[in-house]
Amino acid sequence: MARIAARSLRVQSVAMVIGRTIYLYGASREQFLSDIAWMRHEACHIKQYQQYGKIGFLWRYMTEYFRNGYYNNSLEIAARAAEEDLSVLEDIEIG
């Protein structure tokens, strides 16, 4: 799925959250972990899953995506804002 997302977004690497797991395509674990803004972005999506539940998150995400596109999706806007939030990684366990 992350590969499909990368192709549709026309990017070389992508991270995709499903529940509490971050799937990478075109980037190594080390590359991802060295990019704090990227980690915060994906951690925000994990927190959104926790807030809305799996079905609730997917429903909201897809509804926003079809209405507003990827970049204007409110869940993506929040995740981009989280890239600068120093506290967003506090409750996240990296295994």
pLDDT in tens, the chain (95 residues): 788 877 887 888 899 999 999 999 999 999 999 999 999 999 999 999 999 999 999 999 999 999 999 999 999 999 999 999 999 998 888 87
Chain centroid to Cα 91, Å, comes to 16
pLDDT of residue 41: 97
**Stated pTM of the model:** 0.90
In a domain, 91, yes or no: no
Helices in the chain by DSSP H: which ranges?
Answer: 2-9, 29-33, 36-68, 74-82
Q: Can you give the residue range of the structural domain that contains 40?
A: 2-82
In a domain, 6, yes or no: yes
Locate 39 and state its tokens. Answer: 């980690």
Residue 31's CB: how many other CB atoms inside 10 A?
A: 12
In a domain, 88, yes or no: no
pLDDT of residue 55: 96
Please name which of 54, 41, 48 lies closest in space to residue 13, comparing C-alpha atoms: 41
